Structures are given as C-alpha cells and as structure tokens.
Amino acid sequence: MSTSIIEKKIASGALASHVLLAGNPKAPPAILLHGAGPGVTAAANWQRCMPDLAKHYYVIAPDLAGFGDTDLPAELPRHILAWIGLRVEQVLGLMDTLGLERAHLVGNSMGGALTLHLLVQAPERFDKVLLMGSIGAPQRWTYEMHRLLAFYADPRIARYREMMHSFVHDPAAVPELEDIVQQRYATATDPKIRAVQEILFAAMREGMDQLIIPEAALSRLPHQVCIVHGRQDRIVPLETSLYFLQHLQHAELHVLDRCGHWAQTQRWDAMYPLIVKHFGG
C-alpha cells in the first residue's frame, strides 16, 4: 500500500481547502487538525506522521482557514468564535465532499479546541478522538503563549526561533528543529499570510476564553477520547487536559515525559501506538 502524501484543493462548504491526503480511501478515515502557531500548516504539523498513519487509515490533513493555502471569505472574521465556526463548516464540508459519513479526529492545540466544537455541534459525524496539548479549557496563559500571540509585534527570526524552541522540551533532541524554524518563519512572514494572521491573532488575544467548552457540554459527549499531553509543555499547561479528563464521559489521559507541546515531533514513539490502539487498526 502506498503511503505517499498527495496535495489537493478540495471543496469544503463555501470555500476550497488545501488538503494533504495519504492512505487507502477505503480505510477508516482519520482527520488531523493542526494548531495555531504563526506559519503553521497541515504539512508543518503532520507530514512526518502521515506515512505511518497511512498504513492503517485514510489520512486527511487540511490547512485550517486562516493558515496555509486554504481559501478565505471576502471579509475576514474579527472574533475567535467566528474563526472556529468557519473551520467547523470547513471540516464538515470537506467530509461531505469526500463522502465521509464519520471519521476519527486528531486535534492538536487550537485544533483540539476545534475538535471539541465539532463534537458538540455534529456528534454523529465522528468516531474516536485524540486530543494533543489541546486548548478549550479554563487555563492560565503561559508567558510563552502570550509571546506566541504577540509574535507580529516583533517578527524577527531570532524571536521566532526563541518561540519555536519553547515548543519542545529539549531543542538539542530535535535535530530538524532549525529546518522547522526556517520553513515556518518563511510562511509566517509571507505578506499574504501575515496580513491574515495579524487579524487572526488579534482575535485570539481578545477572545481565547470564548473557546472554552463548558463542563455540561463535555459531559454529554459520548465519544471515546484519548488525551495526550507533554509533561514539559510550556505553551498549554497540563491543567487543560485534566479539565477534559474530569468532565468527558469516556476519556483517558497519557502524560508523556521528555515532551513539550509537540508530542508528534518529540514522542512519536509513544503517540503513534496510542493512536493505533485507540482508533483500532
């Protein structure tokens, strides 16, 4: 079976999404939702993971609205809930175009909050779920998160490198980190991307608490949820995952040592078998 990655522009509701696809379309579908760091794309988050997952699943990784090459509405949203609503419709529209009645979900950071909003608004469309360093819970905002959201106030490469280093537990243990810095910095400072993300990050700074999923909404979700969190995560504190563990009906938490915010980069050795065990395959 081929595990190569295909890039496509696919209709997804009112807009077209730039999407990475891998695996057999007849296999169980798994949708990967990336986070919200400056310059992030589906490829930046998931391309190293997709060949492994494609051995078991039909893997679908879109650039979420506001990132990468996915289309945008003529008028950009100014509130974070409007951005999330746009992405909810994007994911559901993408599933409709691909003919997917249901799918597994993996949500990283902001993609985790989007995952939970999808479960609340369309619970019947999703099977099992994995959250990784997810926001969407009451939390203290770390200094690193504040600096991330203020990146465009001082968009120099040195500042960007400092920020990316804070995503990992030990930068020296991630030999490809400087390549990630250079690639993502080039995307983040592309004039077209920057113009959109300055508006997006302003909305995030002003309204992040609006992304919190209330306890009552979490408690009604029937889905089986595997929660993964890096013990040394300096972007999103572990307390967010404890909130989900406390209020979801069916959840288990795995705390990974020697791991910051990017479990898929630093601890794929642990995360990959967790996904396969949880989703099946």
In a 10 Å sphere around its CB, with 0-12 CB exposed, 13-18 middle and 19+ buried, how is residue 62 labelled?
buried
Q: Which two tokens stand for residue 62?
A: 């879109």
Segment (H or E) for 206: helix 191-207
Residue from 253, 246, 234 nearest 140 by CA: 234
Q: Which of 12, 17, 109, 166 is catalytic?
A: 109
Residue 74: phi and psi, rounded to 5, are -60, -35
261 catalytic, yes or no? yes
Sequence-distant (6+) residues with CB within 8 A of 136 are 112, 113, 116, 117, 211, 212, 213, 240, 244
Q: Which of 134, 169, 233, 241 is catalytic?
A: 233
Two tokens at 134?
A: 């997810």
| Catalytic sites, residue numbers | 109, 233, 261
